[in-house]
Amino acid sequence: MALKKGDKAPAFNLLSDGGGKIKLSDLKGKKVVLYFYPKDSTPGCTQEGLDFKELHTKFKRAGAVVLGASKDSVKRHDNFKEKQGFPFNLLSDEEGKLCNDYGVWIKKKNYGREYMGIERATFLIDEKGKIANIWHKVRVKGHAEEVLAAVKEI
């Protein structure tokens, strides 16, 4: 069943870059921008991360925590974050539970080939742990600005 606005955000407790762990319950009282991306160090995913990085101070001022999530390992996240200078955490969902819980592990098509992969999607979770907004099939250009505008509205 697909998540929708107003639903309780699925809980998570995942490893993040730097060997830390992040639990959604620890972020209660804060707005959470959880963005899913297919793979570290690919052009679109790098640009999306850089866009969130550029607006990071504004997200913080608006009371939001930004988290990126993919199925890459903590080690890959460490390299990606260090290389790009991201000021936010990257969650490692190697088992795919987070992707399944949020409904972003989907069938994709590329050059006629079908395969399973992560849909580029973003979830805005409010201070009470409810989903305030969802963006599916995200186009990177302008997305971080759109999310920031939504964060300021809740």
Which residues participate in catalysis according to the annotation? 45
Residues 14 and 22 sit within 8 Å (Cβ to Cβ): yes
